[in-house]
Amino acid sequence: MDIKDLKITVIYGGISSEREVSLRSGKAVYEALRRGGFKNVGLFDLTRENIGELSSLSCDVAYLALHGKGGEDGCIQGMLELLGIPYTGSGVLASASCMDKIRTKELLDRVGLPTPRFVTLTEDECADREATAKRLSEKIGLPMVLKSPCEGSSIGVYIVKDALEVEKYIGEIFKYGDALLCEQFIDGVELTLPIVGNEELTVFPAIEITSENEFYDYESKYTEGMCHHIIPARISAEDAERISEIGKKAYRVLGCRGLSRIDMILDKVRGPMIIEINNLPGMTEMSLFPDSARYAGVPFEKLVEMIVAYAVENFDEKDRK
């Protein structure tokens, strides 16, 4: 069967704080699939009310355009596995590991891949905010980055410069969950590396990101004119090669399939430092992944076709096992 004869359902929307971004990603993917010649493409706007309808979903491949909790963290992947529906992107374990920034950093650290120094704390351990701020300042140093470990699109991320700010934003972090990730601030070139593939990987050009705000936050990502994607990144050939190798190793260590985007900062002294791994990167009109693919000569229509093909290949491999 020609891949373009497959029945594709784009699952988008979802129940996370990134729902609006997912709606934009899903519509963009749907339109790209239709333009690319896929004959049978539908949209499924996932909500709490209709989640049970997934059990009667009739399609050959589910294209996941979800972001955030419930979409990137292995939940929807597990449901589709039980239903026997092939889907795009990484599996349950890799999705859960990538979504949890703490787990990601622990895995990277274990195999010696470079990532900023970090400390993790529970809400109970942060009961005394003043003492916590002092302890974090001593262990990590200022400025530092405070993060909610299971949010995306830079939601729940704060760069703090003094102890009073640390105290203030600790409380904000716990609005998103019961864990806090404190990370060393890296002052360098912000980069992201898009990768597609299963066993054989294709690395698209690294993108340098500049922002009109202090860092590449939610507003910068999704407001026109607030960020700039520089392709290729203004880095040396040696650094570009090193970033590519580090990115591929991280992709494999986390068990990514189909596609992922590796976010890094290039430190002047220590070189590339991995910040996080996005296993379902944005596919909106302003997103990084399609920008890099286009620069490499892969139009959006071809990119989504490749991602569907990787999903089919991945599930064919599972059947053979």
Active-site annotation holder among 247, 282, 291, 305? 282
Q: What is the reported pLDDT for 154?
A: 61
Distance CA 10, CA 32 (A): 11
Burial class (CB in 10 A: 0-12, 13-18, 19+), 21: buried
Amino acid identity at 271: G
Q: Find the catalytic residue in 12, 13, 16, 18.
A: 18
- Select from 162, 101, 155, 164 the least CA-distant residue to 130: 164
What strand order describes the sheet that includes 144-147? Answer: 118-122, 179-184, 144-147, 157-160
- In whole angstroms, how far apart are CA 294 and each of 124, 232, 246, 299, 301? 47, 12, 22, 5, 10
- Is residue 187 scored above 60 in pLDDT? yes
Asked if the model's pLDDT at residue 222 lies above 50, the reply is no
C-alpha span between 280 and 22 (Å, rounded)? 10
153 flagged as catalytic:
yes
pLDDT tens-digit readout, 39-91:
999 999 999 999 999 999 999 999 999 999 899 999 999 999 999 999 999 99
**Active site annotation includes 130:** no
282 a catalytic residue? yes
Domains 3-88 and 118-184 share a fold: no
Q: What is the pLDDT of residues 248-267, one digit of tens each?
A: 999 999 999 999 999 999 99
Question: Could you say which of 30, 63, 222, 251 is catalytic?
Answer: 222
| 278 catalytically annotated | yes
Q: How confident is the model at residue 174 (pLDDT cuts 50, 70, 90)?
A: confident
Architecture in CATH for domain 97-114+187-309: 2-Layer Sandwich (3.30)
- What is the pLDDT confidence band of residue 155, given thresholds at 50, 70 and 90? confident
For residues 49 and 195, give the distance between their C-alpha atoms in angstroms, rounded to a whole number.
34
pLDDT band for position 216 (50/70/90)?
Answer: very low
Let me know if 213 is a catalytic residue. no
The domain segmentation of the chain, as residue ranges, is 3-88, 97-114+187-309, 118-184
Domain 3-88 has CATH 3.30.530.20: no
CATH number listed for the domain at residues 118-184: 3.30.1490.20
Active site residue 18: yes
Q: Does this model's pTM top 0.85?
A: yes
Could you write out the three-class secondary structure of 169-210? HHHHHCCCCCEEEEEECCCEEEEEEEEEECCCEEECCCEEEE
> What is the rounded distance in angstroms from the CA atom of residue 245 to the CA atom of residue 91?
22
Q: Lowest mean pLDDT: which of 148-152, 259-263, 300-304?
A: 148-152
Q: How many residues does the chain have?
A: 321
